[in-house]
Amino acid sequence: MDLSQYMELAFREAIKAYEKKEVPVGAVVFDSSGHVVGRGYNQVEELTDATAHAEMIALTAAMATLGAKYLNDCTLAVTLEPCPMCAGAIVNAKVGRVVFGAYDPKMGACGTVMNITASNSLNHRPEVYGGILEHKARSLLEEFFRGLRDQ
């Protein structure tokens, strides 16, 4: 599976968030065979939980599916560059690879504002690939926030 196929599945999760009036971010975790082992979308409003980001939900689901606390051989695909909280969880879960769509100029922690995933001070550094289907992910986010402003 190529990186854009991973992102397409994450985008489907982002649409679920959008339909529930959540910030439209989606995430999917794949094992080394390319099988989906976890998926999630933002549920911050629905759960009244600031930590209910798409990545956190997808990582938790993947660890439960695999019965493991580390995801060394897995890829996390997410439509928006992970924030510091999610980047920290990615490092703690030892995710092997992160693929994201839109860069986040306000909270991006995989190279834009800060680079938690590449910190030599931490015990794990995943491979990171950004800007995959960026326009598609950014367009959905812009549409969502434009709708909020219009209300």
Active-site entry in 13, 22, 55, 81: 55
With a CB cutoff of 8 Å and minimum separation 6, the contacts of 33 are none
Q: Is 33 exposed, middle or buried (0-12, 13-18, 19+ CB in 10 A)?
A: exposed
Mark whether 55 is an active-site residue.
Answer: yes
Q: How far is CA 129 from CA 19, 36, 96, 143, 150, in A?
A: 27, 19, 12, 24, 33
d(CA 8, CA 48): 27
Are the beta carbons of 3 and 132 closer than 8 angstroms? Answer: yes
Active site residues: 55
